A and B are shown apart, each in its own frame.
Chain A
Amino acid sequence: MSLFTFAKTEFHNLFSRPVTEQYPQKPKQFKERTRGHIENNIDLCILCGMCARKCPSNAITVNRAERTWEIRPFSCVQCGSCVENCPKKCLSMCQSYTRPGPEQTARLLRKPQPAAKPQPAAKPKFSAAPAPVGKSAS
């Protein structure tokens, strides 16, 4: 049984630098693999809905008719399942976390309509045309 077993740690802490991260004054340094929030490159997205089906907390909603992709960051558990299963690899996991707030906001991305392709010249409709002038069976 001894009495001053904690004294060594105490003195060491008294005379060494504090370990506290000065968080709000110094911004947070994220690690390379930190899972924070999901971003979507809507130009590459084909609105297949795979991410919405795979999400364990139903945070993603894809509406093909209106061409929108919506994520609710206050429902996202940052598992990365959507990123892994996306066929076009347009989803990515970013490092910074969603900031707290008074309301559960959602992020909606709208995929623009594709530019109208130039229409080919209209083919003439079939009609009883006169036989072409030329050789005829004798």
Chain B
Amino acid sequence: MKLSKSPWVLHYDGSSCNGCDLEILDSTTPVYDVERFGVVNTGNPKHADIFLITGGINAQNAPVVKQLYSQMPDPKVVVAVGICACDGGVFKDCYNILGGVNKVIPVDIYVPGCAVKPEAVIDGLRKAAELLDQKQKQMKKKRAAARKEG
């Protein structure tokens, strides 16, 4: 059963101006409708496969992001949405911004834009779904190898 047939998404705003968050919510609305691909915006990290995160992370938000990431079960994919999430954006020099999500958790896909277009979010989600399948295959191989040894 391929996870890419219906990846569930967890969305969190990590210190962004909330433009990119609105565009992510927009992609669930009827005009862009990301639910055609089986994507459901869930609020529970334990049900989610893809972590959509926006904003350059600030010092207070970093532990929250790490906790959400650790609560998601494997295989999981992190998608950094927006220029701020890629490398801090216009707020790179701010005293409170760590500068991009990759300073806190490992990122798999970067989606640029300020604010991102919903089509770019759909592109990012499709790439993330493919990556999810690859990670699932690797996990199965590891488990099969571990069972043979044990």
Contacts and interface: CB of A to CB of B under 8 A. Distances in A.
A–B contact at 8 Å CB threshold (below): yes
Interface of A: 18-21, 23-24, 28, 56-58, 72-78, 97-104
B12 interface: no
Contacts of B33: 20
Contact of A75 (B32, B79, B89): B89
Nearest to A56: B90
A75 B110 CA distance: 11
B134 to A, nearest CB: 11
A74 B31 contact: no
Given A28-B119, A75-B83, A77-B90, A19 B110 contact: no
Contacts of B75: none
B90 A57 contact: yes
A78 B117 CA distance: 12
Nearest to B27: A23
Contacts of A102: 108-110, 127, 131
A120 to B, nearest CB: 51
B90 A98 contact: no
Contacts of A78: 113-114
Contacts of B131: 102
B123 interface: yes
B70 to A, nearest CB: 22
Interface in B22-64: 30-33, 36
Interface string B115-141: 011011011101100010000000000
Interface in B94-121: 108-114, 116-117, 119-120
Interface residues of B, number: 30
A56 B87 CA distance: 13
A98 B87 contact: no
B36 A20 contact: yes
Given A19-B31, A20-B32, A21-B31, 20 more contacts: A19-B30, A20-B30, A20-B36, A24-B126, A57-B90, A74-B86, A74-B87, A76-B112, A77-B90, A77-B114, A78-B113, A97-B112, A97-B116, A98-B113, A100-B112, A100-B123, A100-B124, A100-B127, A102-B109, A102-B131
28 contacts: A18-B30, A19-B30, A20-B33, A21-B31, A21-B32, A23-B32, A23-B119, A24-B122, A24-B123, A57-B88, A57-B90, A58-B92, A74-B83, A74-B110, A77-B83, A77-B89, A77-B90, A97-B112, A97-B116, A97-B119, A98-B112, A100-B79, A100-B109, A100-B120, A100-B124, A102-B108, A102-B109, A104-B86
Given A20-B31, A57-B90, A99 B83 contact: no
